Structure 1
Amino acid sequence: MSEFGDAAEAMAVQPMWSGDQPADVDRFLTDEFSMRADDFISRDRESPFFAMVAFNAVHNFCWQLPHDELEKRGLPALEDWHPGASEYLDWYDGAISPNLPNGRAYYLAQLELMDAQIGHLLTRLDALGIADDTIVVYLTDNGGSTCNYGDNGELRGTKYTLWEGGVRVPFLMRWPGLAEAGATSNQLVSSLDLATTFAVAAGEPQSENLDGRDLAPVLAGGAGHEVLHWDCGWQWAVREGQWKLSWCDAASETAQYIIDVEHTSPGDGAFLCDLETDIGETTNVAAEHPEIVDRLARAHDAWRTEIGLVNG
């Protein structure tokens, strides 16, 4: 990293690692991750395995694509590096929506190439004869970053916020013999449920040491969580049925950073929404339902106490 100077951390210039050893990687990372996952899955088809394939696409900087893909799509190549750490945020600001020509096209190209590699891995499961005995989950770690050309549709907000555009994510499961193909569910579930789900599916008893619940009953038509909580200190939210109460300290240092760098508003104060009638969180109905605000706020305080967070 020393050859790149102080901007190396901000611009994610660092060695890749394989275990505890640095690895030289010169190819497009979406392809590299897929290749290494394929090798791991194929190595011993007789043994159970767990593979978490954490693609870094789609991500800024969205124009970072193979040269042949840029040529095929008629997209210009742009520099991948700016040597000045002090100018980093100015450079970043000039590359986010709406300042980068073809920004959405770059983003969709990254998405399409990732989708192709996911398809390759699913095909590999078929070829190995283990597709019918493998649970496959696809989800994202947050909603789309709208300043980096993600599009959350009618959902308000973006990555870093607790609006639905930040916390409601694609969550797909393929579980042969349990999940019906093409079925959808409106039950409340969380990525925290996956550890328990996988442990139970592997034959382990449900453990109190793991957060979340087994999703197998939900896939079979059962109920999900009654309540979900989010808490970042400077912002929090609680969802119960149709109701969602969120709160944000807009004057906090972190909120101001999100406003300045991501060019989005995480909120200001308390916001109550009926998601059944207002999925886009357009109208704050806190004044009309003070009893619901009070109940959900007290529920969140109780949850914070339960998990060991300090109020204040």
Structure 2
Amino acid sequence: MSVNTIIKAFCLNVTLLTCLSSCEDKKSAYEEVKGSKPNIIYIMADDLGYGDLGCYGQDSIETPNIDKLASEGLLFTQHYAGSTVCAPSRNSLMTGQHMGNTTIKSMEKPIKKEDITVAEVLKSAGYKTAIIGKWGLGNVGTTGYANDQGFDYSFGYYDQIRAHNYYPDYLMENGEKIPLKNEVIYIKDSTHYAVGIGNAATKKVEYSNDIFTEKALTYLNKQNTDPFFLYLPYTIPHGDNESWLIKQHGMEVPDLGIYANKNWTEPKKAGAAMITRLDSYVGQIMAKLKEKGLDENTLVIFTSDNGPHEEGGWRLSFFDSNGDLKGMKRDLYEGGIRIPFIARWPNKIKQNTTTNTVATFWDFMATASELSGEPLPSSSDGISYLPTLMADDKDQKQHDYLYWEFDTNLIRRAARKGPYKLVTIKDKKTDATTVELFNIEKDMAEDHNIAKDHPTEVKELQTIINKYKKS
């Protein structure tokens, strides 16, 4: 064998070994971002429906900034809220627990002292943490006070009921009342005193959600090298319950904007204006991130706490607020719990993509844990959707099942396993129970109850529901 032949063979072997070594060492996009500690901004609307955004099919309400967020990121088609109403859904998001295990199942309790929140997890990883907007999980002096639950900074509504008024007389900042210029009157109805706002436009000076945005922009101005978690739960487009007491429509907004001359009722104009105003807030947040040079290292999530409402003159059928889904807020049909969910992270999340991955609010803690490098608390029911964000389907784990419950005069339960979802509704007055089974993959509108034809699936899902029955 010639010397040249020996040299060529040696070089070929070295090249092959180098290639194999580099291939073995190369990490997936998912592995690359685990523990990378990006900034996280979690923007949440209040009662925004699956079909209320242009990127989800809305054609009457303009949402250009949120639509742009979707075009620059990933849109989920099967993301679920923690519950079908505000407080328990937010509790699920913060604690990483589904309704079978979490403290707040309706609207009556603060988070327990021993509950571990996603803010506490991220704070342990060195994050600065802030909540600006509607907390709703405990006032000052309770175990649910935001600053005792992992947040360095808090501003907005601590109280769930006060958040139903867009022109309050004060908001809370780190446990202190911050007076506003709004003049408040007190109206007595047959059961209670309620805070309301006078009819004169001059008495409605400071709109709470505008203030939230100003505070968020100020907060972002102060951020530099340390990672931060900004939880930004707006109250738009929830109805303003206080307006109902003084016989105004309950969709409150400073102006009707581009909808002022539409041939719609005032509540419809106002509701559309609320959503477009929310969209403008998102645009301001994104502009500030770019201005500050924070854009590249910030994961921005946009979502809603539950499905759309029919309160204060809003009618979801007019705008198809629930899209092709059945039901709305307070239902456990898809329209009450399936929500818009968009994630954007430049050069990490692929632009203009869509996923059918089934994910939930109680998955956020697991996702944040992986991003921060902190261990996931054993109390969590969640599964990280970080692989899905990184388009790494092979590493994406799946839930064995999903579970929800909500009680009023009707005892509602729902469980989903694979394509099948069982919904049971028991009427407390008659003790009658309806049992409905749907194949969500084939029938997302839940038009066809197939319970009689699938007794095995009904039994399996009923066993999951029975697991969380109250004693």
Q: TM-score, normalised by structure 2?
A: 0.51
Q: 2:297 aligns with which of 119, 126, 133?
A: 133
Amino acid at match of 1:74: A
User: Which residue pairs with 1:65 in the alignment?
Assistant: 253
Task: Give 1:287 shift.
Answer: 1.1
Q: What is the CA distance between 1:10 and its match in structure 2?
A: 10
Structure 1 residues 129 and 242: CA distance shift in structure 2, 3 A = same
Are the equivalent residues in 1 in contact too, given 2:169–2:179 (CA < 8 A)?
A: no
Q: CA deviation at 1:209?
A: 3.3
Partner of 2:421: 244
The SS at the match of 1:22 is: strand
Alignment partner of 1:278 is 2:438: no
- The secondary structure found in structure 2 opposite 1:291 is helix
The equivalent of 1:183 in structure 2 is 353
Q: Could you list the per-position Cα deviations for residues 38-57 of structure 1 after superposition, in whole angstroms to 9, with x for gaps in the alignment?
A: 11121132221111111100
Q: Distance in 1 between matches of 2:222 and 2:266?
A: 40
* Corresponding residue for residue 20 of structure 1: 175
- Asked if 1:169 corresponds to 2:334, the answer is no
State the 1:30 CA deviation. 2.2
1:279–1:287 CA distance, 2 compared to 1 (3 A): same
- Map of 1:49 onto structure 2: 228
Indicate conservation of the 8 Å contact 2:260/2:269, yes or no: no
Identity of aligned residues (%): 24
| 8 Å Cα contact 1:197-1:215 kept in structure 2 | yes
Offset at 1:295?
Answer: 1.0
1:289 corresponds to 2:454: yes
Distance in 2, Cα, partners of 1:294 & 1:75? 54
Match of 1:310 in 2: 470
In 2 relative to 1, CA 296–11 (structure 1 residues): closer, same or farther, beyond 3 Å? Answer: closer
Separation in structure 2 between the aligned mates of residue 177 and residue 200 of structure 1, nearest angstrom: 18
State the partner residue of 2:404. 230
Partner of residue 193, structure 1: 363
Whole-angstrom CA distance in 2 between matches of 1:246 and 1:225: 18
TM-score, structure 1 as length reference = 0.76
Q: CA deviation at 1:15?
A: 3.1
Structure 1 counterpart of 2:422, which letter? L
After superposition, the Cα gap between the structure-2 partners of 1:142 and 1:268, relative to the gap in structure 1 and judged at 3 Å, is farther
* C-alpha contact (below 8 Å) 2:413/2:423 kept by paired residues: yes
Amino acid at match of 1:310: K
Residue in 2 that maps onto 1:149? 315
Question: Relative to total residues, which structure has the larger strand share, 1 or 2?
Answer: 2
* Alpha-carbon distance in 1 for matches of 2:354, 2:257: 38
Distance verdict in 2 for CA 1:268–1:152, change over 3 Å: farther
- Contact 1:235 / 1:247 at 8 angstroms: preserved in 2? yes
Kindly report the root-mean-square deviation, in angstroms, between the aligned alpha carbons of the 2 structures. Answer: 2.7
Q: Secondary structure at the match of 1:192?
A: helix
- What is the alpha-carbon distance in structure 1 between the residues aligned to residue 455 and residue 288 of structure 2? 54
**Cα 1:38/1:211, change in 2 over 3 Å:** farther
Shift of 1:175: 2.7
Greater radius of gyration (CA): 2
**1:161 Cα offset (Å):** 0.9
User: What does the per-residue CA deviation read over 1:211-244, in whole Å, with 9 as the maximum and x for residues that have no partner?
Assistant: 3122212322224323111122511100111110
User: Would the aligned equivalents of 2:237 and 2:251 in 1 still touch at CA under 8 Å?
Assistant: no
Q: Secondary structure at the match of 1:51?
A: strand
- Residues 209/118 of structure 1: CA separation in 2 closer, same or farther (3 Å cut): same
Residue 23 of structure 1 aligns with an amino acid whose one-letter code is I
For residue 75 of structure 1, report the CA deviation from its aligned partner. Answer: 6.4
Structure 2 counterpart of 1:74, from 245, 256, 260: 260
Separation in 2, partners of 1:73, 1:180? 34
The verdict on how the C-alpha distance between 1:178 and 1:294 changes in structure 2, with shifts beyond 3 A counting, is same
Report deviation, 1:154. 1.6
Q: CA deviation at 1:268?
A: 5.4
Out of 100-109 and 156-165, give the one that drifted further.
Answer: 100-109
| Structure 1 residue identity aligned to 2:421 | K
User: For the structure 1 residues 41 and 288, does the alpha-carbon distance in structure 2 shift closer, same or farther, using more than 3 Å as the test?
Assistant: same
Alpha-carbon distance between aligned partners in 2 of 1:152 and 1:168, rounded to the nearest angstrom? 9
Unaligned stretches of 5+ residues in structure 1: 1-7, 77-99, 256-266
Partner in structure 2 of residue 36 of structure 1:
215
Which segments of 5 or more consecutive residues in structure 2 lack a partner in the other structure?
Answer: 1-160, 181-204, 241-249
Contact 1:188 1:226 in 2 (8 A): no
Distance 1:169 1:298 in 2: 26
- In 2 relative to 1, CA 245–57 (structure 1 residues): closer, same or farther, beyond 3 Å? same
Structure 1 residue matching 2:387: 3-state secondary structure: helix
| Larger RCO (alpha carbons 8 Å, 6+ apart) | 2
Contact 1:107 1:149 in 2 (8 A): no
CA contact (8 A) 2:302 2:343 kept: yes
Change (3 A) 1:10 1:130: closer
